[in-house]
Amino acid sequence: MNDVEKSEAGRFSELHLELQDWLAGYADGELDDHHTALVEAHLAGCEACRADVARQQVMSRRFQEVPTTRMPFDLQKRLDKALADAPEYSDPAPRTTSRFNLRQWLTGLYRPAVVGTGGWVVALVLAGVLLLPDVGLRSHDHIRMVSDALADYQKVAVTDLPALANTADISAPAKLAGGRLLATWHTTVGGEPAQAFAMRRGNSLVIQYRISEHVLFRNPDVRQAMATMGGYRTHEKQLEVLAVPMKEAGLLIVGPANAMPATSDLDLEPT
Amino acid sequence: MRKARSKQQFDALTRPWRDRLFGVALRQTQSREVAEDWTQEALLRGWRDFAQLTDQVAVYAWLLKILNRVVADDVRRNARRDQLAPMLTTGDAFLQEQACTSAGPFEQTVQTQSNEQFMKAVQALPDNFRQVVLLRDVEGLNYQEVGEVLDIAQGTVMSRLSRGRRLLASLLIRTESADGLAATSIHGGKPT
Ligand SMILES: [Zn+2]
């Protein structure tokens, strides 16, 4: 063997060893064109590797003849029962949900609202809200304006923001620093007409409700709080509700606690 | 209202895979009971994490990944892995030697063995290799899916598959060449 032959033999055995780990990929057709060609060139001159590929294919075929296991019937029944008894994750763990398909379902959910109202901005603002755990309303049943406002807030958060016709002419009752008006609509709070103003504040959705004075002062607890602290504040999990009097009207502000204004900071509309 | 994905949906998607899931579990333990527990645990975890299942992921690969975690957790807890110590190593010298065995006789070897014998040889593979071989050749996953299930790169899938099958071939050949006593020695459960 001369030197040239020796070095060629060396290269061959080097490649031979290197390709050992590629042969499955070749046998399974998982290699790209480049590597397929590389392996084929080697196979043409290497009987050992050809045999290896053939054996791999023989074994893969042999596996297909092994019958699949059937689950015993009582295991089927046991699984049915375990699943039936499993808790309903009806409000899927927010953090994990959002990571996977938040964008997808938001796009679907907010298509009407997205048009002309800042697109993704709206969607993302609402996302902040939707990631809050389900807000139960039971403890506020006795203050109807609060439960009504919370219900309206949530309804909006899971359906659509009504379109905002002309932002320029409209302003919310309370100016919130850094807040931007997104939409307004008419609703009912405490059995009487009210107007809602949805605002983006930071990454949160804050909704103000202009309600009637009559509704605002209906509850004695609220009246007491107004008299002593200038406003009534309550919360349901992460959502906070603030009620303050305005001239001949009332104002409810609903939003995540961290996006809510301090009562003393409120800059109410001039009347 | 935002509607969570329902149990019916989960059931419809996963029920067709139950048998296979159980089969995979069964191949990783000697105990039927343990395999049943793993299957149930995997299914319940799947239900818990159902919201994470996206359209881009094949349901079966997703379930297998969960099962794989269930098994790994359990095996870690019980140090069961020790019982599955490799019997053979992939030595290059050995592979070279075996490489000369041509496919014809090898196919015969494989065909004459019963399913039990064949699968027994598979069980003798070291964990890492066996998992990849089974996911690919029995469960029919592609390399990308196998990689996702086991959390390894596709290149690793390919190399483990290459080595695992080679090892399996050598086990099958050894069995065959054991003085015609192949069947008894395998059934005798003395894999030396
Ligand atoms: Zn070669």
pLDDT tens digit string along A111-152? 333 333 333 334 444 444 444 333 333 345 568 888 888 888
Domain boundaries, chain A: 3-64, 102-131, 144-268
Decide yes or no: CATH 3.40.1000 for domain A144-268.
yes
Asked if B160 and B136 touch (Cβ cutoff 8 Å), the reply is: no
Neighbouring-strand partners of residue A180: A200
Token digits for A1? Answer: 């063997």
Domain with CATH 1.10.1740.10 in chain B: 7-77
Domain with CATH 1.10.10.10 in chain B: 93-186
Nearest to B115 among A66, A75, A97 (CB): A66
> What are the tens digits of pLDDT across the range A28-76?
999 999 999 999 999 999 998 999 999 999 999 999 888 877 888 999 9
Per CB-CB distance under 8 Å, the chain A contacts of B51 are: 89, 92-93, 96-97, 100-101
- Separation of alpha carbons A29 and A37, rounded Å: 12
Tell me if chain A has a CB within 8 Å of the CB of B101: yes
ipTM above 0.85, yes or no: no
Q: With both helix axes pointing from N to C terminus, report the angle between B103-112 and B154-177 in degrees, rounded to the nearest 10.
A: 80
- The CATH number corresponding to B93-186 among 3.20.20.80, 3.40.50.300, 1.10.10.10, 2.102.10.10 equals 1.10.10.10
Ligand 1 geometric centre to CA of B143 (Å): 22
**Fold that domain B7-77 belongs to in CATH:** Rna Polymerase Sigma Factor; Chain: A (1.10.1740)
Token digits for A230? Answer: 């200038």
Per CB-CB distance under 8 Å, the chain B contacts of A84 are: 7
Asked if A96 and B54 touch (Cβ cutoff 8 Å), the reply is: no
> What are the tens digits of pLDDT across the range B86-130?
333 333 444 445 444 555 788 888 888 888 889 889 988 888 899
Per CB-CB distance under 8 Å, the chain A contacts of B49 are: 96
- Separation of alpha carbons B116 and A1, rounded Å: 49
